[in-house]
Structure 1
Amino acid sequence: MDDISTSSLLIFLFVLILISAYFSGSETAMMSLNRYRLRHLASKGHSGAKRAMSMLDRPDRLIGLILIGNNLVNILASSIATIIGMRVLSQYQIDEAASIAITTGVLTVVILIFAEVTPKTYAAIHPERIAFPSSFILKWLSLLLSPFVKTLNYITGTFLKLLGIKDLKNNDALSQEELRTVVHEAGALIPQRHQEMLLSILNLEKVTVEDVMIARSDIYAINVNDDFKQINKQVIQSPHTRVLVYRDNIDDAVGFIHLRDALRLQSKEDFSKSTLLRAVKELYFIPEGTPLNVQLANFQQNKARIGLVVDEYGDIQGLVTLEDILEEIVGDFTTSMLPDPSDEINVQVDGSYLIDGTINIRELNKEMNWRFPTDGPKTLNGLIIEFLEDIPAANTCLEIAGYPLEVITVADNMVKTVKVTPAKIS
């Protein structure tokens, strides 16, 4: 290069630094792209997004291409800078070794500032501005340098296999926990109410039918062996559109009667127990422990809206409806004729709460933002009895999960009323 002027070499060096900055910025921009926004733009026909997405399908090839170009440029720039430095510094009687050292130091600072930190920082902040246009150039470079890239990938792939990495394709699928984080961090992009619904859907597999079922003792049902006047009264006063019909014992369930059918029969003169039984729909049973997401699919598949939860012995434990599962997603329906959960929680003057012992623990936690354990008994009564391993007497005090409790009333071998004093909770 002795015949090339120093000024020409400086221009050439400047161009090489710009190319190095391009490769550095392109690498950061391509790797910083939001993959889900990228898919969205590609589905809308954005050409730059399509090119970038196709290249990101094999990140090993993309990185190999960029590094080949970047390293070639940086090595050439180093050689050019060394020649320029020796020419300039020799005029000041500086020896060759010192000239190389000074040139290396100056070039390192220049490359760090103008070819590394600055372009990479800008690309990390605005990845789409850099990645989409540069993907056009990278696409052509990948064709031009294909033999070198394939050779490099073969060698690096061999070493990666020795490290236990066999699949070199990009896998950016989100786990459920990661998806929850995405929903949480969506901020104003997703309304708060919609965020809660999305998270509730993700949580369905963690909730079983026992968590939302109406307990056996609370099931509104008609005993066909009762006096017929009593049956008529129950039909008229039913708070539900579907009612369980049984004989003497709830375990001897006959089926479900739709309130519409029962009222239509009442309007006819031949209404009797036999006509009522003929209008009963077939029972649908649900094994205990069934996750809500599975049961929701089962309801849809079986064209059912209501079912009885049974244990391993076939004994009825409770009742679950499609509405119960939907309420886990969208919250309580305002059209429900049942008492609200808040009716079971009464605020006292001193700031404490009198709570019905039969309240569902999950409902209590959701309404009061408390953290009673939910992996055991489903009701507050059951939680207290399990904790004490005995049926407590009135005025018994205890603490569960940091919450001070006082048993107020006990009847029928059950804790009926419990007092909770949040002010004492640390």
Structure 2
Amino acid sequence: MDAISTSALLIFLLVLILFSAYFSGSETAMMTLNRYRLRHLASNGHKGAIRALKLLERPDRLIGLILIGNNLVNILAASIATIIGMRLWGDLGVAIASGVLTLVVLVFGEVTPKTIAALNPERIAFPSSYLLIALSKIFAYVVTSVNFITTGILRLVGIKSISSSDALSKEELRTVVHEAGALIPQRHQEMLLSILDLEKVTVEDIMVPRSDIYAINVNDDFKFINRQVIQSPHTRVLVYRDTIDDAVGFIHLRDALRLQSKEQFSKSSLLRAVKELYFIPEGTPLNVQLANFQHNKERIGLVVDEYGDIQGLVTLEDILEEIVGDFTTSMLATPSEDINVQQDGSYLVNASITIRDLNKEMKWDFPTDGPKTLNGLILEYLEDIPSENTSLRLAGYPLEVIEVADNMVKTVRIIPQHYQSPH
């Protein structure tokens, strides 16, 4: 070192600080790259992204390589700074050189390059990947040895795997959708979130309860059956004998009308035209049932409990409406038709409405983890069939039972302006 001039050592020290900045910035840039955008760019043939993705396949080796380079550079820079300090200020120069070098490395070799890299990871990572790949080949044995030692130490402390996973959980994906902002239109965000919620919702939550199923009793008077076919609000109608539990099958309205036009419509021809029944176990999540409909090439099914009793009816359209919202092609009653606003600000609600539809329509917060309908929720809370004019408070909402019939609550008045949080 005595043969090398102080000015040459200063230039060498400056180069080492630049290398320190390179390693520090490269580490931050590589680690802060958006992995999903990186894969997208790589799939489109972006060479910088392909190189970066290759390096990130083994992040432990990449970090080991960068840290080896960074430590070698910083240690060598400290040694040269000490020599320069001793030449200029003697023994006192050691302390001066250490203090100055610490400040210089901290500002120019760590904080500044890492901040720039964090703000512009792709602009730093893609070009630096050239040198990192070259260094990974040069120091392959050193990096492998260091990783072998660190892996052994990690296993001693109970860490068996150092591989990283970029898979997003459902809640993380939900956050990504929420934070997409203007990148994804609000309507599309709602649809994506609805898809994520499908597995939380079962067929019981959206089914038409058995008491509301529009169906034809084949044992009724034939004129009445004929009128039901003509006035049917649905394209597929359930056919049964005397009781829903003795269901025969579904008749497509198109087939029934064709028989009528040919004057061949009779009870026997009606029974011959029915399609085989498709049953759905209660508790089936909507995402599973959607796949089952597709696999079995079905569009409608009857929900049955563990005893085989029919509980309700679910269609493919019902599931799709959970994703894209209500269609307007059906004559079925919508939640808004079950909710009538009164002049005093209260609401008269058909108690057969499902809790999910009520909450969705009115932005209310009735519990959905128990009974599926408002009637069921009231009966569970009171543990009895209430009389008319009974008042109660459910989930913080004041309710008044207006009409009771057939052992069911038919109509309820809800007064949301007097809502009190149950918490």
**Larger mean Cα displacement after TM superposition, 264-273 or 184-193:** 264-273
Supply the RMSD in Å over aligned alpha carbons. Answer: 1.0
Q: What is the number of equivalent residue pairs in this alignment?
A: 420
Partner of 2:166: 172
The residue type paired with residue 31 of structure 2 is M
Residue 266 of structure 1 aligns to a residue whose secondary structure is helix
Give deviations 1:297-329, integer Å, cap 9, x for gaps: 111111110000000111000000000000001
Matched, 1:398 2:389: no
The residue type paired with residue 384 of structure 1 is I
In 2: Cα distance, 1:339 partner to 1:269 partner:
32
In 1: Cα distance, 2:265 partner to 2:198 partner:
42
Residue 350 of structure 1 aligns to a residue whose secondary structure is coil
**Larger mean Cα displacement after TM superposition, 224-233 or 153-162:** 153-162
Give deviations 1:254-306, integer Å, cap 9, x for gaps: 00000000000011233210011000000001000000111111111111100
Give deviations 1:194-216, integer Å, cap 9, x for gaps: 11111111111110000000000
Partner of 1:418: 412
In 2: Cα distance, 1:53 partner to 1:167 partner:
20
8 A Cα contact 1:58 1:168, kept in partner: no
The residue type paired with residue 230 of structure 1 is F
Going from structure 1 to structure 2, the CA distance change for 1:116 and 1:292 (only over 3 Å counts) comes to same
8 A Cα contact 1:261 1:279, kept in partner: yes
8 A Cα contact 2:340 2:349, kept in partner: yes
Partner of 2:313: 319
**Larger mean Cα displacement after TM superposition, 8-17 or 162-171:** 162-171
Matched, 1:299 2:296: no
Shift of 1:335: 1.4
The residue type paired with residue 370 of structure 1 is W
Residue 276 of structure 1 aligns to a residue whose secondary structure is helix
8 A Cα contact 1:210 1:289, kept in partner: yes
Residue 166 of structure 2 aligns to a residue whose secondary structure is coil
Shift of 1:371: 1.2
8 A Cα contact 1:242 1:258, kept in partner: yes
Residue 45 of structure 1 aligns to a residue whose secondary structure is coil
The residue type paired with residue 395 of structure 2 is A
Residue 252 of structure 1 aligns to a residue whose secondary structure is strand
Matched, 1:137 2:131: yes
State which of 336, 356, 361 in structure 1 corresponds to 2:330.
336
Shift of 1:104: 1.2
8 A Cα contact 1:352 1:420, kept in partner: yes
Matched, 1:15 2:15: yes
Residue 171 of structure 1 aligns to a residue whose secondary structure is coil
Partner of 1:128: 122
Partner of 2:242: 248
Partner of 2:141: 147
Give deviations 1:130-173, integer Å, cap 9, x for gaps: 00000111000000001100000000011122233333333111
Give deviations 1:352-374, integer Å, cap 9, x for gaps: 21111111100111111111111
8 A Cα contact 2:256 2:265, kept in partner: no
Matched, 1:226 2:232: no
The residue type paired with residue 362 of structure 1 is R
Unmatched runs of 5 consecutive residues or more in structure 2: none
Partner of 1:82: 82
Partner of 2:33: 33
Residue 338 of structure 1 aligns to a residue whose secondary structure is coil
Shift of 1:346: 1.0
What are the within-5 Å matches in structure 2 for residues 184-199 of structure 1? 184-199=178-193
Moved over 6 A (4+): none
Partner of 2:373: 379
In 1: Cα distance, 2:315 partner to 2:186 partner:
27
Shift of 1:49: 0.4
Shift of 1:102: 2.1
Unmatched runs of 5 consecutive residues or more in structure 1: 91-95
State the identity as a percent.
78
Residue 329 of structure 1 aligns to a residue whose secondary structure is helix
Give deviations 1:211-240, integer Å, cap 9, x for gaps: 000000000000000110000000000000
Give deviations 1:382-413, integer Å, cap 9, x for gaps: 00110111111222222222222222222221
Partner of 2:66: 66
State which of 358, 363, 386 in structure 2 corresponds to 1:364.
358
Partner of 1:272: 266
In 2: Cα distance, 1:48 partner to 1:237 partner:
65
In 2: Cα distance, 1:367 partner to 1:52 partner:
48
In 1: Cα distance, 2:73 partner to 2:254 partner:
81
In 1: Cα distance, 2:225 partner to 2:190 partner:
42
8 A Cα contact 1:309 1:317, kept in partner: yes
Matched, 1:113 2:107: yes
What TM-score do you get using the length of structure 2 for normalisation?
0.98
Residue 375 of structure 1 aligns to a residue whose secondary structure is coil
What TM-score do you get using the length of structure 1 for normalisation?
0.97
**Larger mean Cα displacement after TM superposition, 268-277 or 305-314:** 268-277
8 A Cα contact 1:56 1:170, kept in partner: no
The residue type paired with residue 264 of structure 1 is R
The residue type paired with residue 285 of structure 1 is F
In 1: Cα distance, 2:247 partner to 2:391 partner:
40
